[in-house]
Structure 1
Amino acid sequence: MPEKIDYSSKIPNNVGLADDRRLQRALEGWQPKFLNWWGEMGPTLETQGVYLRTAVSVGREGWAHFGHVNVPDYRWGIFLAERDPDRRIAFGEHAGTEVWQQVPGEYRADLQRLIVIQGDTEPASVEQQRLLGLTAPSLYDLRNLFQVNVEEGRHLWAMVYLLHAYFGREGREEAEGLLFRNSGSPDTPRILGAFNEETADWLAFYMFTYFTDRDGKYQLGTLKESSFDPLSRTCEFMLKEEAHHMFVGTTGIDRVVTRSAELIREHDTLDIAAHGGIPLDIIQRYLNFHYTVSLDLFGSETSTNAANYYTAGLKGRWHETRRKDDHQLTADSTFLDRPRADGTWDTEEVQTLLALNLDLRGEYIADCRNGLNRWNKILADAGIDFRFALPHPGFNRQVGLNAGHHITPEGTIVDEATWEANRRNWLPTAEDLAFVRSLMHPVYERGKIASWVAPPGNGINGQPFEYEYVHLP
């Protein structure tokens, strides 16, 4: 597997596409459909060049090149991390044997489904974010939006390559379906609920890239452990690109909180809406919504599907090879909290193998707390007596054992009337959304930024904030 990427091909790749004419023709047939989808469902704002990074290698050092690119001319391609010839299966009933370079027949349907679900999320987020360029708070932020968008497009290519290369006619049909479904469509929605939600403002975008892209990090991390080596190597490289998306979210919320803190100190009030800032309680309600919607992406706390995927070697745990157990999990147990009809909580012991979604969600929640610590430190350093909090994992859930229960952010089980009476204190209201949207005026002048967000501490690739990251018509 070459480390360098061949950009002389119609489809840039490092998988030797030129040596498989049939596969090459199939993907070249899909390419114009992708470009049509991008033209219809991709970013609305027209640009004449965006300072983007483009992958030039899959090695650990120097894998990306930066330069201004006309977005429709971006070279989307197929990049897999280098193959480790000594890699062995790390878990499940095939542990210790060689990883698979082809799809075992008995796992064909399950692997295809895992790839389709992952692939469906990638174009969905582009569709959700297509209007955001019209209200970008700075050229720096506009550039970051386009960087996220083109890489989500490339991640779609990553999954489409696997479907075409390893799953025959069914795989090609599924690849077509990835462009047929659209985020929020009443007739052909995206598969997972979070990817049908609207991302209508930049606070929502920062929250999405912090919370929902972080879910993507953990899902890709489990697929990176897969015994199907091409999927593993695909996800390993995708994780390099995904890191920037989470950086956009982490630092974006940093900057919103920083600006709100400045306005609170300047005007000596938490009610900074009249001064053009986003009040901290609105930020908390946005956080509550995006966090809980993202928790739903982990699925039910107990899952026979997840157990079967693990036993078969299709999908592992986060950092599987670092775990100090037998990597079989048939004799281990764990505990989960279950809401009871009488309004109390019950603790239930379940087989660890059945609670893999819960295990992954726990890793995610611990990671999310790091962001909370950052934002709360900004407030503490500013002398502001307000702290953000992650709501209880049972709050506002549509999937899993907490769905159908009314649970407060503190974890108290209440009746429906109590929950509805307090809903506007916990989740963004129509008024909140309208207010935040009212702040979304584009700022396209170099070195300038909207009044509701602070500038970044550093620019991209050593460039200053004042750099012309985007050339506009």
Structure 2
Amino acid sequence: MSGINYSEKIPNNVNLSSDRTLQRALEHWQPNYLKWWADMGPESSQNMDVYLRTAVSVDPSGWAHFEHVKMPDYRWGIFLTPPEQDRKIHFGEHMGEAAWQDAPGEYRANLRRIIVTQGDTEPASVEQQRHLGLTAPSQYDLRNLFQVNVEEGRHLWAMVYLLHRYFGRDGREEADALLQRNSGSEDSPRILGAFNEKTPDWLAFYMFTYFTDRDGKFQLCALAESAFDPLARTTKFMLTEEAHHMFVGESGVSRVLQRTAQVMNELKTEDPAAIRRAGVIDLPTIQRYLNFHFSVTVDLFGADQSSNAATFYTTGLKGRYEEGKRTDDHVLKSDTYRVLEVKNGQLNEVEVPMLNALNEVLRDDYIKDSMAGVARWNKVLEKAGVDFRLTVPHKAFNRKIGTLSGIRVSPDGHVLTEEQWNANVDTWLPTPEDRAFVASLMGRVVEPGKFANWIAPPVMGINRQPIDFEYIRFN
């Protein structure tokens, strides 16, 4: 079960050839996917040979193979982790029952909605990033961008397989619609707001892959607990690939900080204007980018109180992050959780039923994980002898979803008037001038081993290759 059959038109480890109707349906969808990739995937990349990893096994160790391949020829496929024998549902009202191998009729609509929403994020991020290859700071970074892109494409395939296999005509129509919506489109935008934002430059890309792909990690972890076994097995393998995307973001920002700190020490100044004149990104601008991408991403977890979240948990469709490590009763009917509300112009915590607060539980787990990486970024500055420290803004800052939507809160958690917000917002969120400055630094560097002035080289190359390895062959 751990091996993947690459001899078939659609590589898979689900014995696709045994279901001719399903195979034909997916083979009918495949050309539409390839057309979407040609139209909306990485710009001007069709003829490049890219050093990509391809899954050859779903075994966590030794699962990937590296070689140069043209991205349109990448073997996207359908890979599920092996089934767990006698797997039982371990939370909600069906706890102790056998995990479902098919979608129960009464839960089909909610399951389909969950799968469609997850599936919609995958092509959206490819669309958001499609122009970045034209301004890559190195071959190493260009290769990492393309690796993220092809894996997001494969994650789309993962969700499309579930829709085709388990949801009949409705599933096939939803799979088609995943290629018809486009990030930022006025007529048919992507479902979630963060996936309609632009990713115009590489600092935004690193922040996106650190913060927004981390949301992906937490959502996939919650779905990997699902009583619907095919969804759980699909998302477990997606998590193996997702780890690289977060690495790209964390290491990318670290390298930007390293280079900025180096220039600050050389010039013996903390003046942002002097740093910019030297052609690197000043630390306050990096903080503003962090604030923006963090706040946009925490909205992805949904409203702080949600009857849908309660329903998804109680019925076994979606668990919590690391559900199996928690020591409560995994039913939660008598449990409470503290969420924020604004009262008399101040943020206060109020206890609510935990089942209704499960979005907030997942959001808080995410924030804790995000803060750990920001602490590692600060170690880069500390090691360089720079006093500046990056901070994670308050979770009520710049919110557009839930109880905190539209309430003006500073990064340190103080409720503000509209006038106070307007007077300070340009010190907290990227301004058009910030974005124009960062854009002015973006220019493609293609010589192996060379890097743009605003970013430091990585410590090591991909798959133990040297840093000056030819990751991209421009044909």
The amino acid across from 1:280 in the alignment is L
Of 290, 294, 311 in structure 1, the residue corresponding to residue 297 of structure 2 is 294
Q: Distance in 2 between matches of 1:176 and 1:315?
A: 24
User: Is structure 2 residue 16 aligned with structure 1 residue 17?
Assistant: yes
Deviation at 1:267, TM superposition (A): 0.5
The amino acid across from 2:463 in the alignment is N
Structure 2 equivalent of residue 234 of structure 1: 234
Q: Distance in 2 between matches of 1:385 and 1:64?
A: 41
Deviation at 1:337, TM superposition (A): 2.1
Q: Distance in 2 between matches of 1:307 and 1:75?
A: 38
Q: Distance in 1 between matches of 2:62 and 2:91?
A: 32
Post-superposition CA distance 1:79-135 (Å, at most 9, x none)? 000100121101000001110000000000000000000000000000000000000
SS at match of 1:414: coil
Q: Distance in 2 between matches of 1:225 and 1:117?
A: 17
Q: Distance in 2 between matches of 1:344 and 1:135?
A: 44
SS at match of 2:453: coil
User: Is structure 2 residue 376 aligned with structure 1 residue 377?
Assistant: no
Structure 2 equivalent of residue 303 of structure 1: 306
Deviation at 1:157, TM superposition (A): 0.1
The amino acid across from 2:389 in the alignment is R
The amino acid across from 2:303 in the alignment is S
SS at match of 1:94: coil
Structure 2 equivalent of residue 94 of structure 1: 94
SS at match of 2:436: helix
SS at match of 1:346: strand
Structure 2 equivalent of residue 266 of structure 1: 266
| Counterpart mapping for 1:368-407 below 5 A | 368-407=370-409
User: Is structure 2 residue 355 aligned with structure 1 residue 339?
Assistant: no
User: Is structure 2 residue 29 aligned with structure 1 residue 30?
Assistant: yes
Q: Distance in 1 between matches of 2:420 and 2:123?
A: 38
Deviation at 1:346, TM superposition (A): 2.5
| Counterpart mapping for 1:118-267 below 5 A | 118-267=118-267
Post-superposition CA distance 1:249-298 (Å, at most 9, x none)? 00000000000000100111122000011000000000000000000000
Q: Distance in 1 between matches of 2:349 and 2:159?
A: 39
Q: Distance in 2 between matches of 1:354 and 1:191?
A: 22
CA contact (8 A) 2:52 2:69 kept: yes
| Counterpart mapping for 1:424-443 below 5 A | 424-443=426-445
Q: Distance in 1 between matches of 2:455 and 2:347?
A: 41
User: Is structure 2 residue 420 aligned with structure 1 residue 418?
Assistant: yes
Q: Distance in 1 between matches of 2:290 and 2:61?
A: 35
SS at match of 2:462: coil
Deviation at 1:361, TM superposition (A): 0.6
Q: Distance in 1 between matches of 2:75 and 2:2?
A: 17
Bigger mean CA offset, 69-78 vs 375-384: 375-384
Structure 2 equivalent of residue 313 of structure 1: 316
Deviation at 1:60, TM superposition (A): 2.2
Q: Which runs of no fewer than 5 residues in structure 2 stay unpaired?
A: none
Deviation at 1:353, TM superposition (A): 1.1
Q: Distance in 1 between matches of 2:49 and 2:407?
A: 49
CA contact (8 A) 2:60 2:240 kept: no
Coordinate RMSD, CA, aligned: 0.7
The amino acid across from 2:458 in the alignment is P
Bigger mean CA offset, 369-378 vs 277-286: 369-378
Deviation at 1:61, TM superposition (A): 1.6
SS at match of 1:65: strand
Structure 1 equivalent of residue 351 of structure 2: 349
| Counterpart mapping for 1:28-67 below 5 A | 28-46=27-45, 47-67=47-67
Of 273, 279, 283 in structure 1, the residue corresponding to residue 282 of structure 2 is 279
Q: Distance in 1 between matches of 2:42 and 2:380?
A: 33
Deviation at 1:10, TM superposition (A): 0.3
Q: Distance in 2 between matches of 1:419 and 1:321?
A: 42
The amino acid across from 2:22 in the alignment is L
Structure 2 equivalent of residue 76 of structure 1: 76
Q: Which runs of no fewer than 5 residues in structure 1 stay unpaired?
A: none
SS at match of 2:75: coil
The amino acid across from 2:298 in the alignment is L
Deviation at 1:335, TM superposition (A): 1.4
User: Is structure 2 residue 451 aligned with structure 1 residue 449?
Assistant: yes
Structure 1 equivalent of residue 110 of structure 2: 110
Deviation at 1:450, TM superposition (A): 0.1
The amino acid across from 2:357 in the alignment is A
TM-score (norm 1): 0.99
CA contact (8 A) 2:135 2:442 kept: yes
Bigger mean CA offset, 109-118 vs 42-51: 42-51
Q: Distance in 2 between matches of 1:298 and 1:346?
A: 20
Post-superposition CA distance 1:300-358 (Å, at most 9, x none)? 11111000100000000000011001000001112122112x31122211111111111
Bigger mean CA offset, 321-330 vs 40-49: 40-49
Deviation at 1:421, TM superposition (A): 1.1
SS at match of 1:147: helix
Q: Distance in 2 between matches of 1:379 and 1:64?
A: 34
SS at match of 1:179: coil
CA contact (8 A) 2:140 2:461 kept: yes
The amino acid across from 1:301 in the alignment is D
The amino acid across from 2:245 in the alignment is H
SS at match of 1:93: coil
